[in-house]
Amino acid sequence: MTLLRKAILVATTAATLGLGTARLAIAEPEDDVSKSQGINHIVVIYEENHSFDNLYGNWEGVNGLKKVKPTKATQINQAGTAFSCLLQNDVNLTSPPLASSCNTEANPVTNTTFNSAFTNAPFQIDNYIAPNDTTCPPGDVFAPNGVVQGKGLPGGCTRDIVHRFYQEQYQINGGKMNRYVTGSDAAGLTMGYYDTKQLPIYKYLHQRHTFGYAIADNFFQSAFGGSFLNHQWLIAAQTPIFPSAVSDGLANDLHSVVDANGFPNKSYPLYTPTTPVNDSSLTVKCPALVDVACGDYAINTIQPTYQPFSPGTADAKKLPPQTAPTIGDRLSEAKVSWAWYSGGWSNANGDIGDPGWTNGNGLKCSDPNAKTSATYPNCPDNLFQFHHQPFNYYANFAPDTQARKEHLRDEQEFFNLAQASTKKCNLYSVNFIKPIGAENEHPGYASERVGSNHLVGLLEAIQKSACAKDTMIIVTYDEFGGQWDHVPPPGQGNNNGPHDEWGPGTRIPALIISPQLKGKFVVDHKSYDTTSILATIERRFGLKPLNSRDAKVNALSPGDDRD
């Protein structure tokens, strides 16, 4: 019996006993995720904006909220002393309407006070905003502090929370994980979490006859900050560069400016910059006055040069086409079939008549959910997120190229392929899936319950298809969404592991669903980051690593070596 087979035996035994704490067999950097493991298809489902503790913190057997000592969750103010309670500015969490249990809380820098119903500790969001509460904004409405219960659409939405490059590093605070509240526009909401066992994905995976799965409780977002940068790291394992970026301090200069604490924003309720700052799309100029990443790198949301991009974006504020290799390039060179399936892509890209197209044959965008500023045939949905389309930033996938036509597709096409036959698998070897905004679980504009149900629908489509017998599914989230987690990332505190100036950042949820696990549940405690997905693909199909990080990280395994 090999060591990997022994690992699975231990894992399945623990799961049978209800322990749920064994380690999934993993592929070390020198190992090959080989054909002998019986996996011919990999599906990556990339959800949005949740930390591990926020979403999966009460999954059995994990290093979650039950493992957190109260002192480890205590958040501190800008001066370094502990808050006695949490400031809330989501309209459904403020006092009023909630009764206040804390009447004074001074910000020592701004000398402000507030009322709050929340002590300085994690709290369960569902106790205050239920899954069916009418707190979700219509698709074309931006509600910075959320929607009052009874005034919106059902879904139990909260307000959004800032999730940006320099802010997250301040929040992590060298691995102390204690400045999430101070470094956020949403303040105390960063400490909220969901009832894990009421999530549709949790209930689905605990039904009988579903595939076995592993939950990885030591999986981190690859880069600090938000969705744009982490999508780039998912496909290229590096930070994009803005060649010859303007650096004159005027309107088209997109460089950030940070204060002595490395903080870039002046408008948050619990932080006051020590010097003038600017929270923008690029890193600070070199040489930096503090120890932060600097240069002409794109770190926060920026629009691509190619359609689809946010209507009205000035050319000077679009990222020039990138030329670094991507995992798509590696796969194509090796003649391995693949596609990126995005919800709403056909409408946004103007692919008239393709799967997912809903805007008719006229001269105007006829779908009522299309952006009013859109110009036919580019008819993006109100919740289509342009910066969630990473391949669209690369010259190899420019409009009118064959690579774009073949590989950038609509999510509806994935559903069609998965459901087409129960006798023959129609999926490509590698499949990336990005749900549209309304279905991606992103706080602020999406319902967690709706997004989790959509995730279940994707899993059902795969598991009912002919692909089920040899498909490994990886479910994870692009980044933490501004939410607190108690585990320091590699490179922070005493947590060693592959890291650099770009990350990894906060811990995020991750699931590995595989027929190799034969109906069992295990908890994998090995350290990973988002580039572990790249490593898994590279080692399965014999591809060269894209960069130093994906060359060093652990790859995920379907769970059985079969040697």
pLDDT band for position 101 (50/70/90)?
Answer: confident
The whole-number pLDDT of residue 209 equals: 64
pLDDT band for position 421 (50/70/90)?
Answer: confident
Strand partners, 76: 82
**Max intra-chain CA distance, the chain:** 68
Q: Could you read off the pLDDT of 464-485 as tens digits, one per residue?
A: 999 999 999 999 999 999 999 9
- β pairing state of 192-193 and 510-514: unpaired
> Looking at residues 16-28, what average pLDDT do you find?
36
Whose CA is closest to 476, among 218, 266, 225? Answer: 218
The whole-number pLDDT of residue 515 equals: 87
Contact 449, 203 (CB under 8 A): no
Q: Using CA of residue 267, residue 270, residue 272, residue 277, what is the dihedral sign?
A: negative
What one-character DSSP code corresponds to residue 209?
T
**pLDDT at residue 25 tops 60:** no
**pLDDT at residue 35 tops 90:** no
Q: Could you read off the pLDDT of 129-168 as tens digits, one per residue?
A: 999 999 999 988 889 999 999 999 999 999 999 999 999 9
The whole-number pLDDT of residue 495 equals: 86
User: Cα 356 vs. chain centroid, distance in angstroms?
Assistant: 23
Whose CA is closest to 61, among 23, 25, 21, 10? Answer: 21
Termini Cα distance of the chain: 9
Q: Answer with the residue of higher pLDDT: 532 or 557.
A: 532
The whole-number pLDDT of residue 211 equals: 78
pLDDT band for position 106 (50/70/90)?
Answer: low
3 state SS of 340? strand
Q: Could you read off the pLDDT of 46-66 as tens digits, one per residue?
A: 999 999 999 999 999 999 999
- β pairing state of 212-216 and 510-514: antiparallel
Q: Could you read off the pLDDT of 367-400 as tens digits, one per residue?
A: 999 999 999 999 999 999 999 999 999 999 999 9
Element (H, E) at 215: strand 212-216
Whose CA is closest to 537, among 335, 337, 331? Answer: 331
Contact 188, 94 (CB under 8 A): no
Whose CA is closest to 36, among 535, 402, 559? Answer: 559
Q: Could you read off the pLDDT of 323-357 as tens digits, one per residue?
A: 999 999 999 999 999 999 999 999 999 999 999 99
Cis peptide preceding 504, ω within 30 of 0: yes
Residues making up the chain, counted from first to last: 563
Kindly report the backbone phi and psi dihedral angles of residue 168, in degrees, each rounded to the nearest multiple of 5, phi listed first. Answer: -65, -40
pLDDT band for position 422 (50/70/90)?
Answer: confident
Regarding pTM above 0.85, the answer is yes
**pLDDT at residue 33 tops 60:** no
